[in-house]
Amino acid sequence: MGLFSVIEQTAAKQALRQEMRRRRKAMPPEEKTAGEQQLCRRFLESSYYRNCRQLFCFVALPQEPETRGILRQALTDGKIVAVPRCLPERRMAFHQLNREVPLEQQLLSGSFGVAEPQETLPVITPQPELAPLCLVPGLAFDRKGGRLGYGAGYYDRFLAAYPFLLKIGCALTPFLTDCVPTEPTDQRLDGIATESSLEVWNG
């Protein structure tokens, strides 16, 4: 990719980030709540959720689709559930939650104001024999696996290390777009979960 193309890609990503942040602010709270409840229900009813034994899932920021309902249900269902903690050098570790302890007691305010797991919880990695699935946050997604993150590359680094991991974006439909600008280091997703459908193209 030439210098001019890199500059163009960076500008396109920044413009899309601004547009998606504007959409987040403009979305009525009741519309967001209704949409994320439907998203949660569709995901939990899917065969992809039922078949996975390991679930790697983000803890949502207020502007993201709420995931705590998914986390609690997965623990109740006996899944191995892990949530991320940011590390130096823009890396992440996923810590396994304890189904015997209330969720909020296992979370602390961490990097960038994100709720993160306590350091004392065990670190786990995806295991192929456990049909691992990762729900991935982002600002925008397309139906070709493109994802626009927040720019730090935490998820791209983590996902690149586990090519067998089923990677599903998590978003409400206003945050789907025709084409997300991507670079070689951007990891393509295998599917997208929204309030209206769960689509998987790979896996």
pLDDT in tens, 134-168: 999 999 999 999 999 987 889 999 999 999 999 99
Rounded mean pLDDT, 1-30: 83
Does residue 70 surpass a pLDDT of 80?
Answer: yes
Average pLDDT, the chain: 92
Token pair for residue 21? 């942040």
Contact 149, 156 (CB under 8 A): yes
Closest CA to 161 of 201, 134, 180, 130: 134
Query: CB atoms < 10 A from the CB of 48, how many?
Result: 17
Percent of the chain whose pLDDT exceeds 90 = 81
Closest CA to 125 of 87, 82, 77, 189: 82
Rounded mean pLDDT, 118-137: 97
Contact 166, 134 (CB under 8 A): yes
Query: CB atoms < 10 A from the CB of 109, how many?
Result: 9
Contacts of 149 (CB under 8 A, 6+ apart): 137, 138, 139, 155, 156
